[in-house]
Amino acid sequence: MKMLPFWLTPLYERFTSQQSQRAHAFLFLGNAGLGQMALLDAVALHWLGGQSLADHPDILRVSRQEGKRDIAVDQIREVTQWAQQTAHGHIGRVVILEQAEYLNTAAANSLLKTLEEPPQGVRFLMTASRAGKLLPTILSRCQRVLLPTPESSAAQHWLQTQVKTATATEVALALTLHHGAPLAAQSWLVETGLSDWRDWQKHWQASVQHRRVATTLIDWARKDMTRFCQHLGQQAYLDGQAGSFAAWQMVRLVWQVQRALRQNMSKDILLDNLLLATDSLLTGAMPQLNLSGRRGVLA
């Protein structure tokens, strides 16, 4: 088992030192990229013994299937059937559920029934970044554990040692864009995040200079709207950190558009309206969108 990052070690030690755990379900809350799954793996192995989840018969890991938007009800039904089987060892069984906020309605209701009447000896370890997306009844049946975000200077020092090619400015940017989550920032730096950001900045700064959305940015946005939303949201978040209320409004509007995309609303209409809102932001006006769920488009 890999060593836990420094900011999770105290939580692991405190959590596993409690010899008597009365709760049967634990929900670990925190931004993505804090090391949630490494922590849950370590806790599960501590409870049941063993060196790896890969070959442990009493640990079941559940997450969204590749290419799927949600965790489906069939996956939770399989969990229920698995949990009712006899444990291979003498300690119990553990279900690890990743990103519980992606449970669809049927899956959430199915999980709730299991949490209300848990099989003997089965404990649930779950993660979520947005507790508000979960059913209140599920929340009420879990012991909530807040994941710590490391102090800024300690996170920067750790990240600099992990990605030695990154400058201090790039490290600070990565942490800011990922809300202080070091592992998410690390992935962003070592994969394509930084190069994509530099490409975005060329188009964005041209737009800022002319106080309107540049043609090159429009072309860039139409090639990949998901990427455009991601970068526009990050840019607005950065500008919001500097005190721009209009930028925080843009963050909210990007969230609206991303939610509308998941609801299969018209991508072209969504993008056109988002570009108009971006134009307003660049001219110093308050960006606005009018989302009409009834019509299924942005007016």
At 39-57, the pLDDT tens digits run 999 999 988 887 777 778 8
Domain count, the chain: 2
State yes or no: pLDDT of 241 exceeds 80. Answer: yes
Helix and strand numbers, DSSP H then E, in the chain: 13, 7
Tokens in use for 236?
């607005």
Q: Is residue 273 part of a domain?
A: yes
Q: Is the confidence at residue 173, as pLDDT, over 80?
A: yes
Please, which residues have CB within 8 angstroms of residue 188's CB and are 6 or more apart in sequence?
174, 177, 178, 194
**Is there a contact between 51 and 79 (Cβ–Cβ < 8 Å)?**
no
Give mean pLDDT, residues 18-45. 87
Read off the pLDDT of residues 121-155 as tens digits, 9 standing for 90 and up: 899 999 999 888 899 999 999 999 999 999 999 99
46 vs 176, more confident: 176
Q: Under 8 Å CB-to-CB from 177, ≥6 apart: which residues?
A: 185, 188, 197, 234, 237, 238
Q: Is residue 40 in some structural domain? A: yes
pLDDT band at 27 (very low <50, low <70, confident <90, very high): very high
Considering the domain boundaries, does residue 172 fall inside one? no
Residues 205, 125 within the same domain: no
Domain with 238, as residue range(s), is 192-298
Domain boundary among 113, 131, 146: 146
Average pLDDT over residues 242-257: 93
164 has pLDDT over 60: yes
Same domain, 240 and 120: no
Which CATH number goes with the domain that contains 117? Answer: 3.40.50.300
Task: Read off the tokens for 162.
Answer: 């992990």
